[in-house]
Structure 1
């Protein structure tokens, strides 16, 4: 499982011009699910995202996590994170979990996130989404579990 996380001042996801998820200050997390991922890897990923220290403390150092700053978490499924890009000019998406299984696991990941943090929003699995974000920093990190 991979995640691309961004520290944001705000972020939203729209489907067919309707906002389906939005947060203020917090983390926008794109989640890629691979063939070998399961509930345990999903829980480890959420635990890592929620405790990853990418927010400033009083001294201006990256020392606080999203929970400590009472930030939001916007989760967006993103199978393209699992693409192999080392050969040729076209991405190979063979590393991504098939859609039905990935949808079920993403649902479990979201449910776990909601049980651990009170400010969780999502996009819509499999939809063509418009994501808008004000990246703060910019700070972007790729996490793997």
Structure 2
């Protein structure tokens, strides 16, 4: 399996208390677009424009290095990667398992907890080179720290 490349786009959102919205981008495509395309193509309803990024300041994620390496996962081992387009992380989350190996970071086992009947087995997995992934998470952490300063 070839590796994907990740980056985290950040945008200041005045409509959310001037908070920073974080949207993962995989191979240059916003993750919100990837999931919208998948859900729409799979005939899921509702679908399209349902997801938004996450807001570190509002969500109190803790250290993003822990969060995006799955060390802040819930009791079932799942991490919220996207929140609702309304800005509330818990309203309509897209969750996944984040697995870290010696060489890779893998996002798989996607789920929408409010629609457990949805089948995401054909979405992903996404596999990232661990060093490139770590560099992207560190860059995100620096952006968040400078935003909080």
Q: TM-score, normalised by structure 1?
A: 0.31
Q: TM-score, normalised by structure 2?
A: 0.30
Higher RCO (CA-CA < 8 Å; seq separation 6+): 1
The structure with the greater share of residues assigned to strand is 1
